[in-house]
Amino acid sequence: MILDPDLVRFTTQFLEKNGALADAHSDHIHAVLPQDLADVLNFPEEVRLGGEDHPLLYGSPILDRLVHTATDGIPVAYGAVSIPYIKKAGFDAAIAQDLSIVNGKFQVGVRAETRTSYMIITSRYVALSDERKEGLMRLTFHESSGAIIAGFEDAITDFECTYYRQGSLPPQFSPRIGVSLQTALKSLQHRIEEELAPFISSMRRRLHRDVTNTREYYRSLADEMRISLAHPNLSDTQRMERQQKIDSLPSEADRKIADLQHKYDTRIHIRACVGERYLVDVAQLIVTILYRKAARTLPVYYNPVTRRIDPLVCESCKKTTRRIFLFMMKVVAKLSPQL
């Protein structure tokens, strides 16, 4: 059977991109897969796609598996920012403006031009409650430190960028950014929660309103039914049934309130949509932190895209900060309201 050319093209490109060897024909694809890809797709390491054993058709489980695996990760673009001029002086003033230190001081030492990498993550969020709210959030972090770089994703539009093909990436793009990425994703989640704070507050106010109204309704209903118990035309059986109904009202009210709490409970789903990794020529400064009789050196970066000194990362809580506290010559940071 002749396979759909688009399916053959998609499958071949996907397999080769993930390290497989694929030989495409009009009626089948013969492929040799790396072990990790074979495990993900639940294929043998050598497989013939097409035919009765592994049909490659629209709607087939095999195609569904391939599409799911192909879309499970996020697409990433790689580029380099063209910097026309790198700052060469005035770093003492820049550090004094962008970083502060408690009970210590900075001393700028060696300056060098170097190239470092930043990543912009664009994520989609959906908040589900009695209503639905969704949107996009962008965040940039320095890949080597994990520091969140505010404003980078907007400022980069003022610069010319060169983009690379997947097979010709410069070695400065490190494959090991997992720790920094996880730190950045936690910051992203926190920012999305801040963005959704008014929405969540609105749902809580509506929940409080509806719970109050529900309790008032059942209190009024109970009062009316108690008054009706004194009606002379009621039989003993009717009075007993009505009293049982009155006794059951608190439980019924609790069930209604539980339903309301579930109705207004806010569930937030966050999914990264796309990543952009950029190489940027920066000025690296070796700065000495002086604290009493102790001293410690660390690198800081002047970022020509944001035109600011990049913030630092607390060694204790891993949060981004521009305000530094010292403890046993270990950088212990407190979040600055400047961020």
Measured distance CA(77)–CA(297) in Å, rounded:
34
Q: Are residues 246 and 148 both part of a single domain?
A: no
Note whether residue 58 is domain-resident.
yes
- Name the domain boundary from 23, 44, 72: 72
Neighbours of 42 (CB within 10 A): 9
- Examine the domain organization and report whether 169 and 281 are in the same domain: yes
Same domain for 228 and 111, yes or no, is no
Among residues 19, 41, 72, the one where a domain terminates is 72
The verdict on 86 and 152 lying in the same domain is yes
Q: Which of 313, 306, 312, 255 is nearest to 280 (CA)?
A: 306
Same domain, 147 and 295: yes
**What pLDDT score does 172 carry?**
86
Q: For the chain, what is the domain count?
A: 3
Indicate whether 16 belongs to any domain.
yes
What is the dihedral sign for C-alpha 329, 330, 334, 335? positive
Please state the pTM of the whole predicted model: 0.71
Listed residues 243, 265, 287: the one ending a domain: 265
Shared domain check, 205 and 280: no
Read off the pLDDT of residues 226-283 as tens digits, 9 standing for 90 and up: 888 888 888 888 888 888 999 999 999 999 999 999 999 999 999 888 899 999 999 9
Same domain, 225 and 284: no
Residue 233, domain extent: 200-265
Residues 177, 144 share a domain: yes
Residues 191 and 261 in one domain: no
Task: Indicate whether 338 belongs to any domain.
Answer: no
Note the pLDDT of residue 60. Answer: 87
Q: Are residues 136 and 237 in the same domain?
A: no
The string of pLDDT tens digits covering residues 109-143 is: 888 999 999 999 999 999 999 999 999 999 999 99
* Residue tagged 């209190």 (tokens): 219
Same domain, 299 and 237: no
